[in-house]
A = this chain, B = another copy of it.
Amino acid sequence: MSDQSTATAFVPGHVTGFFSAHRTGDPTTTGSRGGGLTLSDGVRVTVTPARTTRVDLDGRRTEMPPVERVVDAFETTATVVVDSDLPVGSGFGVSGAAALGTALASNTVFEGDRSENDLVELAHVAEVESGTGLGDVVSQARGGIPIRVEPGAPGHGVLDGVPTSARVEYLTFGELSTAEVIEGDTTRLSRAGERALSELRDRPTLPHLVRLSRRFAREAGLLVPEVETAIEAVSDAGGEAAMAMLGRSVFALGTGLSDAGYDPQVCETYPSGAHLCHP
């Protein structure tokens, strides 16, 4: 469908505020339920055919297993250049974004005939099999403020959304291992996540989502001290903040972190899902 020798996709970032983990024997039905925000800060992924597969992240060669799995699924090799506005491993969905962007761009470059749902499934499966995430890919394919009502890839997962938009501020204090959390005992976490989801669906507004996320981090036992301090400072200044799952990161609505005296990154919720960029 194209004679382009290279293609670029943009994928919004995604912070999960709360979630429950659902693992099955099948990566297409494995996933998470929960709530989060997609971000105008995101990831651009450029795919170019090459003799061997290599991944560059922000100018440096790196290993990104979900990206390599996606390229392998096209039975080919490519250079994948990932340019991220967001820190890696800090709860912003960079690995999911890189996988989804690679799927969209590869389908164009290698003249594939997959549909969008096929490509989302491919990236979701690559992310699940790599242990790097459960719900970012489907959220990033949707855009907006996604509510993951049922887990899994298209055809299994069900999504809804909070119908609004907002300025978002965020800060990171470092990485947290997604695999360690989601491959451990998720009973307590999932119980807290299911309760938050049920309450969000009763009143799907953005301040409610952030308040439920704040409670979730505490109940799930995931809150780290630096994030707790920042969330409290935002609350004291009259704002709404919560922890980005899974990272040592905090996000706030409006000018929440600025008002509390921090010097945050600033972006907005993103109305669109992942998409190819014009050549």
Which chain A residues have a beta carbon within 8 Å of chain B's beta carbons?
1-2, 104, 107-108, 113-117, 119, 143-144, 147, 154-155, 158, 160-165, 201-208, 268, 271-273, 275-276, 278
| A206: chain B residues within 8 A (beta carbon) | 1
Give this chain's copy count: 2
Which interface residue of A119, A165, A205, A275 has the most chain B CB atoms within 10 A?
A275
7 contacts between A and B (CB under 8 A): A108-B163, A114-B204, A115-B163, A116-B144, A116-B162, A143-B272, A268-B278
- Closest A-B pairs by Cβ, 3 of them: A272-B272, A116-B161, A271-B275
Q: Contact: B164 with A115, CB < 8 Å? A: no
Question: Which chain B residue has the least Cβ–Cβ distance from A104?
Answer: B163
| A144: chain B residues within 8 A (beta carbon) | 116, 273, 275
CA distance A155 to B162 in the complex (A): 16
**Given the interface contacts A143-B272, A272-B272, A273-B272, does A165 sit within 8 Å of B278 by beta carbon?**
yes
Q: Contact: A113 with B205, CB < 8 Å? A: yes
| A1: chain B residues within 8 A (beta carbon) | 164, 205-208
**A-B contacts besides A143-B272, A155-B158, 20 pairs, CB < 8 Å:** A1-B205, A1-B206, A1-B207, A1-B208, A2-B164, A104-B163, A107-B163, A113-B204, A115-B161, A115-B162, A115-B163, A116-B144, A116-B160, A116-B161, A116-B162, A117-B160, A117-B161, A154-B160, A163-B276, A271-B272
